[in-house]
Amino acid sequence: AHIRFTAFDDAPATQSPRMIGVIRDEIGFDGLLMTDDIGMEALAGGMGERAAASIAAGCDLVLHCKGDRAGMEPAVAAAGRLSPAAAARAEAALSRRLPPEPVDIRALEAELEALLGGTAHG
């Protein structure tokens, strides 16, 4: 998250090596660590600067959720390729995915219609 833990430092947690150290070393999280959306205007600088600072702090992945190319290109360029350690964590995360359970779409649509009072489709 882009919250600040001023007891540790003044940087947003996403861009704080100290907070990433707390997550990794003190809490013991060894999974894939990604930022919150860097496009939500909670961080200073341009998209490239935000991405670079997050990767430098120790995040594995940078999320840019708005989808505008003008913001994505500098973020992707600054974030660069996954480090070998980040790639291993990503592979481990992907290997733990479970296949989705079967779902009855018609039953879900009926439930939605009932919850919305029959106005789910306009």
Region 57-81 average pLDDT: 93
Region 54-68 average pLDDT: 94
Let me know if 100 is exposed, middle or buried by CB neighbors in 10 A (0-12, 13-18, 19+).
Answer: exposed
Q: Is the pLDDT of residue 122 over 60?
A: no
Task: Pick the closest to residue 39 from 9, 10, 11, 14 (CA basis).
Answer: 14
Within 10 angstroms of residue 68's Cβ, the number of other Cβ atoms is: 10
* pLDDT number for residue 119: 65
Region 85-90 average pLDDT: 97
Please state, in angstroms and rounded to a whole number, the distance separating the CA atoms of residues 74 and 112: 40
Give the pairing type, strands 61-63 and 34-37.
parallel
What is the tens place of the pLDDT at every residue in 92-113? 999 999 999 999 999 999 999 9
What is the tens place of the pLDDT at every residue in 27-51? 999 999 999 999 998 999 999 999 9
Cβ-contact 89, 60 below 8 angstroms: yes
* pLDDT number for residue 44: 95
Please state, in angstroms and rounded to a whole number, the distance separating the CA atoms of residues 32 and 48: 21
